[in-house]
Structure 1
Amino acid sequence: MQNIRKLPIGIQSFEDLRKNNYIYIDKTEFVYNLVHSGKVYFLSRPRRFGKSLFLSTLKAYFEGKKELFNGLKIEQLEKDNPDAWKAYPVIYLNFAQDNFSSKGTLEDCINLQLKKYEEEYGITEIESRFAGRFINIVQTARKKTGLQAAVLIDEYDKPLLDAQSNESLVNDNREILRGLYVTLKALDEDLKFVFLTGVTKFSKVSIFSDLNQLEDISLSSQYATACGITEKEMLENLGQEVEGFAAQNNLSKEDCIAQLEKMYDGYHFYENSEGVYNPFSLLNALKKQDFSLYWFATGTPTFLIKKLQESTMNYMDLSNGVEATAQELQDYRSDNPNPVPLFYQTGYLTIKGYDREFGVYLLKYPNNEVKYAFINSLAPAILNNNRSTGLDVVSFARDIKKGDAESVMARFKSLFATLPYTTARKEKQDSVIEQNFQNVFYLVFTLLGQWSTVEETSSFGRADCVLLNGNNVFIFEFKRDKTADEALNQIEEAKYAGPYKSSGKRIIKIGASFSTKERNLVKWKIVEE
């Protein structure tokens, strides 16, 4: 019988994972370091990045379930510690499973979880406020066990993220959470350990202002790889699956790893830290043996696109890279006009560089899964089209593959014809039209990068582009309110074809004129050499 190994896709229980022989990538050294170096922590990571499993691992540790840790790093690290593996009372609040977009859902969720612990510790006198009930549970647990409690809160911010389209509900949920979380400070002497996970760091939730001893490890070098899968971990633990994937797709192992890296790796949570794969995407890809969109398919970025449209940020900035300080990255407010913190914390941007002199991070898309899926989802917004997709980029790609420049330009012309008239004031109409012009070319050329090599010859935002596919080299130059001949002259004068003349490839030069008045391409010329 073939040796089929169990990949822990969607498994959030450490106990379930260990008892049922799922593959486990050992993260217990991080557990050991956290427990022995501090008390109150917060960790922000994107959704489906292993936060719940990590929290469940902490739960099993504090419950003293030593048998679950056999053969793991922490077993050796704790071997000389007489206080290890005590069974502490654990209060685990889980907000990951519910949808909090409806009024009353948060109250029901908290009530149900508190009721469970009240029954466990024999509490019969129930206070009316959640804060009072929570304090009573923790203090009663300590009295009955003689030990301080460990409080673990999973996805503390989900009740706020789910309600973002309803400002009134966001405010209501915030006040409920604030009243609950503020008790952690009052309970300090009754608590052994506190760990909260979330996607965002909401600055207006009292936990970050009232818990002055809280350590935010979201941008810590020590814990940069606590969630996610490094390449080393992948090869050591999932090498068999990588080899099977490579064979199924007629790839060498090296080429398979390179494609997996481009598609799912690339997340960095500290300057110059080791990159990590999105675990949900990587495990799904290895199981299904297919390079598909897994993480992106589990959630749509509608709110992010809305925030982007409401901001002054250019769509192209996301590809070219945006800069932010550490404080900006961790300061999420729903009324913050800057979308960068939300893009970073939700995993659509990640750290790709750091300017130590000025303390500024460079942020870009982490990998091709996020880049191409997100840009494709931008198409309806850019094209003002309500269809699920407003752009048939595959047809563009097929024309490029055939070397059919005339059809490519005709498709651009048809695309511009779908754009609505601007309602901006007359003095701003030209700039709005030019922005639309730039956005369409940005959208098309970026998405074509899935099948072709796209190189910028000057400013990509001005639509000057070189595209390589098979034996063809396309050199595009677009001029607004100038002639197609002037665009071709620009290609010649700038010697854009120079680097490709000795390649033996077919060079196709396209000069095109875009008319502000017509809001479309009015003429283009194609020259081959």
Structure 2
Amino acid sequence: MLQRLPVGIQTFEKLRQDNYLYVDKTEAIHKLLCSNAGYFFLSRPRRFGKSLLLSTIKAIYQGNRALFDGLWIADQWDWNKVHPVIHLSINKLDYQGSGLDVALQQALHASATQYQIELHSLTLKTLFSELLEKLAKQHGKVVLLIDEYDKPLIDYLDDIPLAKANQQVMKTFYSVLKDSDPYLEFLLITGVSKFSRVSIFSDLNNLADLTLHRRFATLTGYTQQELEHYFAPYMPELEQYCQLSRAELLEKIRYWYNGYTWDLQTSLYNPFSVLNLFANGDFRNFWFESGTPTFLPKLMHRDKVYRLDKFKVDELTLGNYDLETLQLIPVMFQTGYLTLQSKDKRGMYWLDYPNREVRNAMLIFLMAEWAHVEPAYTTPMVVQLSDAFDDNDMPALIEVIKTMFKKIPYQIFIKDREAYYHSLIYLTFFYLGQYAEAEVNENNGRVDCVVKTATHIYILEFKLDKTAQVAMEQIKSRDYAGAFRDDPRPKVLVGINFSSKLKSVDDWVMEAG
């Protein structure tokens, strides 16, 4: 009988006791626990296995040997090496209702009660110090695990004053660790984002950042080898349903869910998406649907960014996450919507979408943001566009393009018409590439596109506040069709002019190429 798939289960003990599938990460964890540095920080996207990682480390330090039967670490660890563990999952605290200071104090009292320790301090800082000292003296040096440290900041990115207030509480809280070295055995703090060290961890000079550390790149996420080994028993059913061979299925899974990397050597799968794929038996945007921050498309709209492929940044920029000057690229990288693609000889990183799931879902949300519609409306609109091309129905195609701009308030559109025009045309035809063979280019104020169907090749040129004939003349004068001269399919040249005054297509022409 197949083991159950642990969709949404983040507790190692439950996972092992109830016979859920566990992808053995204990060799990598052992390497971390035995490294020279003892204080660590790890940033990974949501749903990427951070909570399960901390839960596993907790079970190791509690000496719960039975849970690790059959795993790599079972005969590699000294199970007599037991330490008290403080495991704080910030997401579970009532900081929204009680306030962060009070919520943290309640969590510290709960940890103290677990070890029959009485605390008498009245402030967060002194309470934390008292707990660490008493716990270490009574039970041995403390293992401190803090999950989702940044949740009280991310939840309030649309309320900066409150986010900054939480930031100050966090800085006070973590400042305790500076003088707690005699009481600490191991420290791991995880989160989605790496906010400026100065803003929160300024006193922790010995906090090692594992985010881009090549030795620990596979602590979370699934490697190709892990996917093929652990999920092999679940693949026959999916092969049959999708009518694919094993090799074809693996390639499709890779295309949809692989692509994350933090060392530019190992490409990783999103665990949440892979587990949901086999649990549901179908390919969908599982990770994106589980909680896309609404502020991201708005941030992109603010910065007039609608192309996220092929960004080039340095390592300092990747870690530049500041509340008051929130920058798009580090936010997109740290939250998992962009990943490393390559690194040049000057140390500059190229970023891109990790996979189909993230790319398509982000296009949907971006189109919705620019078009002022709900995300659910965007995919049907693009499918209609694809159908119009398949049917060689140009009037229908023009109507779809008109629909894209219909919901945008005129007062908003007219103030930023260039950005709206370029973004929506580009995003729509780029997304069309998932349903038809489409290439869209946007350079020097012009937009052109090539769409290939089974029967025709369409070459389109878009203009803003000019004429369709000007667009057609450009197609001809620059011989855009020449690149496809050897293709036997008929060429269709389409010139389209968009009127900012009408907020719609006002003129279009079509000729045989």
Change (3 A) 1:381 1:234: same
Task: Decide whether the 8 Å contact of 1:377 with 1:389 is kept in 2.
Answer: no
Write the mapping of 1:224-239 to structure 2, written as runs, cut at 5 A. Answer: 224-239=217-232
Write the mapping of 1:115-514 to structure 2, written as runs, cut at 5 A. Answer: 115-145=109-139, 147-203=140-196, 207-270=200-263, 272-311=264-303, 313-316=304-307, 318=308, 320-357=309-346, 359-385=347-373, 389=377, 392-422=381-411, 432-456=416-440, 459=443, 462-514=446-498
**Cα displacement (A) at 1:207:** 4.5
Moved more, 178-187 or 202-211: 202-211
Task: Decide whether the 8 Å contact of 1:181 with 1:207 is kept in 2.
Answer: yes
Change (3 A) 1:414 1:242: same
In 2, the alpha carbon distance for the partners of 1:295 and 1:285 equals 10
**Alignment deviations for residues 267-307 of structure 1 (CA, whole Å, 9 cap, x no partner):** 1112x221111110111011111111111111133111222
**Alignment deviations for residues 481-520 of structure 1 (CA, whole Å, 9 cap, x no partner):** 4432332233234333334343333432211223344443
What amino acid is aligned across from residue 497 of structure 2 in structure 1?
S
**Alignment deviations for residues 333-359 of structure 1 (CA, whole Å, 9 cap, x no partner):** 1222421111111111111121232x2
**Cα displacement (A) at 1:457:** 5.8
Helix, strand or coil for the counterpart of 1:93?
A: strand
Unpaired runs of 5+ residues, structure 2, are none
In 1, the alpha carbon distance for the partners of 2:342 and 2:292 equals 27
In 2, the alpha carbon distance for the partners of 1:258 and 1:387 equals 28
What amino acid is aligned across from residue 44 of structure 1 in structure 2?
S
In 2, the alpha carbon distance for the partners of 1:452 and 1:496 equals 19
Task: Decide whether the 8 Å contact of 1:310 with 1:337 is kept in 2.
Answer: no
In 2, the alpha carbon distance for the partners of 1:384 and 1:179 equals 42
**Cα displacement (A) at 1:107:** 3.9
Change (3 A) 1:259 1:462: farther
**Cα displacement (A) at 1:389:** 3.8
Helix, strand or coil for the counterpart of 2:511?
A: strand
Helix, strand or coil for the counterpart of 1:86?
A: coil
In 2, the alpha carbon distance for the partners of 1:477 and 1:55 equals 53
In 1, the alpha carbon distance for the partners of 2:444 and 2:273 equals 30
Task: Decide whether the 8 Å contact of 2:301 with 2:370 is kept in 1.
Answer: no
What amino acid is aligned across from residue 483 of structure 1 in structure 2?
T
Moved more, 409-418 or 292-301: 409-418
Helix, strand or coil for the counterpart of 1:211?
A: coil
Give identity over the alignment, percent. 35
Change (3 A) 1:254 1:508: farther
Moved more, 188-197 or 390-399: 390-399
In 2, the alpha carbon distance for the partners of 1:50 and 1:12 equals 8
Q: Does residue 60 of the first structure (1) align with residue 59 of the second (2)?
A: yes
Change (3 A) 1:240 1:495: farther
In 2, the alpha carbon distance for the partners of 1:231 and 1:435 equals 40
Helix, strand or coil for the counterpart of 1:497?
A: helix
Task: Decide whether the 8 Å contact of 1:155 with 1:197 is kept in 2.
Answer: yes
Change (3 A) 1:168 1:479: closer
What amino acid is aligned across from residue 20 of structure 1 in structure 2?
D
**Cα displacement (A) at 1:480:** 3.0
Q: How many residues align?
A: 511
**Alignment deviations for residues 343-388 of structure 1 (CA, whole Å, 9 cap, x no partner):** 111111111121232x211111111111111221122321234686
Q: Does residue 94 of the first structure (1) align with residue 82 of the second (2)?
A: no
In 2, the alpha carbon distance for the partners of 1:119 and 1:166 equals 34
**Cα displacement (A) at 1:214:** 0.6
In 1, the alpha carbon distance for the partners of 2:153 and 2:253 equals 33
Unpaired runs of 5+ residues, structure 1, are none
Task: Decide whether the 8 Å contact of 1:182 with 1:206 is kept in 2.
Answer: no
Q: Does residue 528 of the first structure (1) align with residue 507 of the second (2)?
A: no
In 1, the alpha carbon distance for the partners of 2:205 and 2:138 equals 29
**Cα displacement (A) at 1:127:** 1.1
Task: Decide whether the 8 Å contact of 1:182 with 1:210 is kept in 2.
Answer: yes
Task: Decide whether the 8 Å contact of 2:417 with 2:500 is kept in 1.
Answer: yes
**Cα displacement (A) at 1:467:** 1.7
**Cα displacement (A) at 1:241:** 1.7
**Cα displacement (A) at 1:94:** 1.0
Change (3 A) 1:85 1:17: farther
In 1, the alpha carbon distance for the partners of 2:445 and 2:340 equals 22
Helix, strand or coil for the counterpart of 2:201?
A: helix
What amino acid is aligned across from residue 422 of structure 2 in structure 1?
Q
Task: Decide whether the 8 Å contact of 2:160 with 2:324 is kept in 1.
Answer: no
Task: Decide whether the 8 Å contact of 2:117 with 2:135 is kept in 1.
Answer: no
What amino acid is aligned across from residue 114 of structure 1 in structure 2?
L
In 2, the alpha carbon distance for the partners of 1:458 and 1:137 equals 59
In 2, the alpha carbon distance for the partners of 1:234 and 1:75 equals 22
Task: Decide whether the 8 Å contact of 1:177 with 1:205 is kept in 2.
Answer: no
**Cα displacement (A) at 1:206:** 5.2
What amino acid is aligned across from residue 203 of structure 1 in structure 2?
S
In 1, the alpha carbon distance for the partners of 2:402 and 2:149 equals 48
Task: Decide whether the 8 Å contact of 1:230 with 1:274 is kept in 2.
Answer: yes
What amino acid is aligned across from residue 194 of structure 1 in structure 2?
L
**Alignment deviations for residues 82-107 of structure 1 (CA, whole Å, 9 cap, x no partner):** x554111111111133574x352434
Task: Decide whether the 8 Å contact of 1:12 with 1:53 is kept in 2.
Answer: yes
**Alignment deviations for residues 180-215 of structure 1 (CA, whole Å, 9 cap, x no partner):** 111111111111110010011121665532111110
Task: Decide whether the 8 Å contact of 2:494 with 2:508 is kept in 1.
Answer: yes
What amino acid is aligned across from residue 42 of structure 1 in structure 2?
F
**Cα displacement (A) at 1:138:** 1.7
Helix, strand or coil for the counterpart of 1:91?
A: strand
In 2, the alpha carbon distance for the partners of 1:249 and 1:386 equals 30
What amino acid is aligned across from residue 90 of structure 1 in structure 2?
V
Helix, strand or coil for the counterpart of 2:333?
A: helix
In 1, the alpha carbon distance for the partners of 2:497 and 2:162 equals 50
